[in-house]
Amino acid sequence: MTRPLEIALLGLGTVGAGVAELLQRHAELLAERAGGPLQLRRVAVRDPDKPRDVDLDPDLLCGDPTLVAADPEIDVLVEVMGGIEPARTLLCEALRRGVHVVTANKELLAKHGAELREAALQGGAGLHCEAAVAGGIPIVKALAESLSGNRVQALYGIVNGTTNFILTRMTQDKVGFAEALKQAQDLGYAEANPAADVDGDDAASKLAILAGLAFGAEFASDDVYRAGIGHLTPTDIQAAADLGHVIKLLAIAKDRDGQVELRVHPTMIPADHPLAAVHGAYNAVFVHGDAVGDLMFYGRGAGRMPTASAVLADIVDAAQDLRRGVSGRIPMPSRRLAVLPMTEVTSRYYLAIQVADQPGVLGAIATVLGRHQVSVASMIQKGRRDAPVDLLFVTHQAVERQLLAALEEVAGLPQVERIAQVIRVEGSEEA
Amino acid sequence: MTRPLEIALLGLGTVGAGVAELLQRHAELLAERAGGPLQLRRVAVRDPDKPRDVDLDPDLLCGDPTLVAADPEIDVLVEVMGGIEPARTLLCEALRRGVHVVTANKELLAKHGAELREAALQGGAGLHCEAAVAGGIPIVKALAESLSGNRVQALYGIVNGTTNFILTRMTQDKVGFAEALKQAQDLGYAEANPAADVDGDDAASKLAILAGLAFGAEFASDDVYRAGIGHLTPTDIQAAADLGHVIKLLAIAKDRDGQVELRVHPTMIPADHPLAAVHGAYNAVFVHGDAVGDLMFYGRGAGRMPTASAVLADIVDAAQDLRRGVSGRIPMPSRRLAVLPMTEVTSRYYLAIQVADQPGVLGAIATVLGRHQVSVASMIQKGRRDAPVDLLFVTHQAVERQLLAALEEVAGLPQVERIAQVIRVEGSEEA
């Protein structure tokens, strides 16, 4: 029973080096918690001769991931190399052989989750993915285990640190998007090509996984509607503040009577909402369950040691299952849920409409909105006399399709210069 | 394999009725998640004839908890009756027979945790206590499982909703303690005798359990230093705001090189700290792990359905272990850690000292503080000329023993009217 469990690591980049470091630093603590020693047996790296900042026996390194993954002595295979291939093939083969897999690879899970689960079922192996979403925040276990007594009704995530950093800078320093993005790049929070982050694609992949766990169903990244933050201006940030709100890029999943809304977009939330206090590169996931009510999980969504922390929790879970001789845990979808088309989603909306300041313009717009079942909750008039002014509206709940039709008609009104901005609003009393 | 698991319930009060309701409402979902149906077999109540607002077959009710707990057919015993006896005896006996136990009883765990764990080990049964601390927030599982790869260095909890409600009212409405307490009582957030909440005793019991899980050691409620909130005034709340801080009743545990600080007391924290955004009756636990960094878990710390949600998560965990035929999970202390006496704790301090406004008074006080190794970080002078004034100090890190000695000497200075307030400060850069 006290034979060490043999761990193989695919990848020794940022997260992989963190995992190797924690296995060393906490060897004793981990042995207690896992019911026996954890032994790092082999590490697949691209270049075994490259200097590294983690103190590892060079004999452990191997340039061929296939050799490492196929080692018949390994108990747990940890994949932190990223990308689809060869990860997909290697993990599926290992799972079918009964090797427990821990992965941080959100693209792989979002694209080939079903295949991985199938392989895990065949082999009786566990498939663990705490590190794939929201870094160090234990949201995967929370959704898969801690909310068993609930039907999750809604989930709101700040799951992309880059965009949250940019929006925090725009809000606190009142700078524009381009300047905030440059700060993020200078500090290493944003890539040279930031598209995957600022366009919402990264958040969409994560939302597909989170919603799958929350609703016990299977979703793909492509099921998620997405809009990025590149079009937001200091004017929008200020207007939100004037309304007692802040703008966050939220990943939103809602259960609507058996259909699911899945969407990533800039969202106005009240300034006293717990998600509004999530600043900089931090992440948070806010969940509403029918029994538990509101819950929020907050922490570092990326980075070497926070992500390695999530990987280690999975390794210890896998080790305990191995020690107890039971087959592994696999988060399984148990329901089929259709994704509601974005046009059928209901939301409240913030609208900034630039108009010529003529008598009757407000009435004309309100009439058009009303004809499309879009009801106005509040209105503020900005700007000065004799100049084009902004009318800022917040609507009650409206159907996106009707809102879009209304806006098309509003844009055609003679007194209307342009629809300057549309931002969805969440999180106040009126759900 | 699809035989229903038989659940017995001790207690059908607020939480018990919530558990019974969820077992009915989510029967299908729970059967999926637990690997088979969950059957409520018997419920021990004080008075089987009392009318109830949960729709239960009256034949399930039984006035004798001993009969219910000793039923040889039960798989999981859920204890939500509270109190030490008969819960202690009944749970220990059931655990020794191999019945998995789910309990929400924090007093029992804090006082007799070792005995319960011993019984669970003997019987190979699981001992689950997610509902005993912080209601619906899954902090027990997070500490026991999700932070395996970390050494927890500090934990800060808002774990008493009554006091957080009172402090929120004092902060937002600028009312005094007595009025805020009365509001809490009117709304059902505070008992007629609020001592256990406002004096910090309830938070101390919870901290003993949380620190035990975080550090893998055994602590008793009596190990926890406590100071309540009854002596806080609107002046203190305002002074905190002037310093960019808020006052919260925090339950604090810190690992100090193998010794542990355990303390519950009013604490000033920066207004932009995530814990500062925890309002009203909500709870939150903020954890710092050496790998994961800062994490926070936020939600409802009490109430029928949130607490029942935590109980259900434990029931499903127990059911999965039973289905897989493995012995139960028992959070075991693995280390022995001494509790640092409060006099040896280091902290930063806010000091409000009422003085006669004479030249030299600041110098006299600063000299005394300095002689006792208490270094002043900032000072504000309040009040008007020719009247007694308050000097407000914030110190750097100081040892409590030296701070107390300094204050005793300061109180004896001729220009000093009285030491009006002392509040510990946490959460800014200087750890």
Task: State the average pLDDT over residues B156-168.
Answer: 97
Residues of B within 8 A of A278 (CB-CB) are: 274
- Cβ–Cβ of B148/A30 closer than 8 Å? yes
Token digits of residue A376 = 């106005």
Cβ-proximal residues to B245 (8 Å cutoff; 6+ apart), any chain:
B268, B269, B270, B271, B425
Contact between A323 and B327 under an 8 Å Cβ cutoff? The reply is: no
Instruction: Give the gap in angstroms from C-alpha A309 to the nearest C-alpha of chain B.
Output: 5
Does B130 contact A at CB distance below 8 Å?
Answer: yes
Selecting from B141, B150, B315 the residue whose C-beta is nearest the C-beta of A146 gives: B141
pLDDT at position B111 is 87
Say whether A139-300 and A5-135+304-323 share the same fold.
no
Residues of B within 8 A of A32 (CB-CB) are: 216, 334
CA distance B321 to A321: 11
Active-site entry in B206, B248, B254, B382: B206
CA distance A381 to A411: 17
CA B72 remoteness from chain centre: 35
Residue of B152, B171, B309, B312 to mutate, interface with A, max A Cβ within 10 Å: B309
Q: Work out whether strand A245-256 and strand A152-158 pair parallel, antiparallel, or are unpaired.
A: antiparallel
Residue B33 — very low, low, confident or very high, per pLDDT cuts 50/70/90?
A: very high
- Cβ–Cβ of A151/B26 closer than 8 Å? yes
Q: How is the beta sheet containing A38-44 ordered, strand by strand?
A: A61-62, A38-44, A5-10, A76-79, A100-103, A127-128
Does A153 contact B at CB distance below 8 Å?
Answer: no
From residue B378, give the alpha-carbon distance in Å to each of B383, B398, B408.
17, 14, 21
CA distance B269 to B276: 7
Residues of B within 8 A of A311 (CB-CB) are: 149
CA distance A325 to A142: 24
Residues of A within 8 A of B277 (CB-CB) are: 272, 274, 276-277
Task: State the average pLDDT over residues A45-50.
Answer: 90
CA distance B49 to B63: 9
pLDDT at A429 over 60: no
Cβ-proximal residues to A243 (8 Å cutoff; 6+ apart), any chain:
A268, A350, A378, A380, A392, A394
Q: What is the pLDDT of residues B122-132, one digit of tens each?
A: 999 999 999 99
Instruction: Give the gap in angstroms from C-alpha B256 to the nearest C-alpha of chain A.
Output: 17
Does A22 contact B at CB distance below 8 Å?
Answer: yes
Residue A358 — very low, low, confident or very high, per pLDDT cuts 50/70/90?
A: confident
Task: State the average pLDDT over residues B306-323.
Answer: 95
Task: State the average pLDDT over residues A29-48.
Answer: 94
Q: What is the pLDDT of residues A374-417, one digit of tens each?
A: 999 999 888 766 677 889 999 999 999 999 999 999 999 999 99
Average pLDDT over chain A, rounded to an integer: 93
Task: State the average pLDDT over residues B333-342.
Answer: 88
pLDDT at B297 over 50: yes
Cis before A58? omega within 30? no
Of B48-57, B164-173, B189-198, B221-230, give the lowest mean pLDDT range.
Answer: B48-57
Token digits of residue A106 = 């959100």
- Cβ–Cβ of B141/A136 closer than 8 Å? no
Task: State the average pLDDT over residues A109-113.
Answer: 89
Q: Work out whether strand A76-79 and strand A100-103 pair parallel, antiparallel, or are unpaired.
A: parallel
Average pLDDT over chain B, rounded to an integer: 93
CA distance B322 to B52: 31
Task: State the average pLDDT over residues A359-365.
Answer: 90
Residues 378-407 of A with CB under 8 A from B: none
- Cβ–Cβ of B277/A274 closer than 8 Å? yes
Compute the half-sphere exposure of residue B181: CA atoms within 13 Å on the CB side of its CA.
Answer: 16
Nearest CA in chain A to B138: A146
Residues 197-256 of A with CB under 8 A from B: 216
Token digits of residue A63 = 């340039």
Q: What is the pLDDT of residues B374-417, one digit of tens each?
A: 999 999 888 766 677 889 999 999 999 999 999 999 999 999 99
Does B9 contact A at CB distance below 8 Å?
Answer: no
Residue of B171, B292, B326 to mutate, interface with A, max A Cβ within 10 Å: B292
Q: Which residue has the tokens 């897999």?
A: A101
Residues of B within 8 A of A290 (CB-CB) are: 305
Residue B325 — very low, low, confident or very high, per pLDDT cuts 50/70/90?
A: confident
Selecting from A22, A291, A295 the residue whose C-beta is nearest the C-beta of B305 gives: A291
Measuring CA to CA, which residue among B172, B148, B168, B171 is closest to residue B158?
B168
Active-site entry in A111, A206, A248, A254: A206
pLDDT at A1 over 60: no
pLDDT at A345 over 90: yes
Q: What is the pLDDT of residues B342-367, one digit of tens each?
A: 999 999 999 999 998 778 889 999 99
CA distance B149 to A15: 13
Indicate the fold that domain B343-425 takes in CATH: Alpha-Beta Plaits (3.30.70)
* Other CB atoms within 10 Å distance of the CB of residue A378: 11
Residues 313-342 of A with CB under 8 A from B: 313, 315-317, 324-327, 334
DSSP state of A83: S
Nearest CA in chain A to B322: A326
pLDDT at position A348 is 97
Selecting from B145, B150, B296 the residue whose C-beta is nearest the C-beta of A309 gives: B150
Q: How is the beta sheet containing B5-10 ordered, strand by strand?
A: B61-62, B38-44, B5-10, B76-79, B100-103, B127-128
Residue B53 — very low, low, confident or very high, per pLDDT cuts 50/70/90?
A: confident
Residue B429 — very low, low, confident or very high, per pLDDT cuts 50/70/90?
A: low
Q: Which residue has the tokens 């729970």?
A: B30
CA distance B326 to B124: 8
CA distance B2 to B4: 6
Nearest CA in chain B to A307: B292
In chain B, what are the domain boundaries? Answer: 5-135+304-323, 139-300, 343-425
The complex's ipTM?
A: 0.94
CA distance A353 to A388: 10
In DSSP notation, A362-381 reads: HHHHHHHHHHTT--EEEEEE
pLDDT at position A39 is 96
Token digits of residue B372 = 């006792």
A206 is catalytic: yes
Residue B287 — very low, low, confident or very high, per pLDDT cuts 50/70/90?
A: very high
Does A129 contact B at CB distance below 8 Å?
Answer: no
pLDDT at position A431 is 41
CA distance A17 to B190: 50
Residues of A within 8 A of B290 (CB-CB) are: 305
pLDDT at position A385 is 64
Does B76 contact A at CB distance below 8 Å?
Answer: no
DSSP state of A145: I
Of A32-46, A291-305, A357-371, give the lowest mean pLDDT range.
Answer: A357-371
Q: Give the DSSP H or E segment for A42.
A: strand A38-44
Domain covering A342-425: architecture? 2-Layer Sandwich (3.30)
pLDDT at position B339 is 96
Does A28 contact B at CB distance below 8 Å?
Answer: no
pLDDT at B102 over 90: yes
Contact between B37 and B2 under an 8 Å Cβ cutoff? The reply is: yes
Spell out the CATH class of A5-135+304-323.
Answer: alpha beta
Residues 266-305 of A with CB under 8 A from B: 272, 274, 276-279, 289-300, 303, 305
Does A99 contact B at CB distance below 8 Å?
Answer: no
pLDDT at position B431 is 41
CATH of A139-300, one of 3.30.360.10, 3.40.50.1460, 1.10.390.10, 3.40.50.720: 3.30.360.10
Nearest CA in chain B to A322: B326
Task: State the average pLDDT over residues B221-242.
Answer: 95
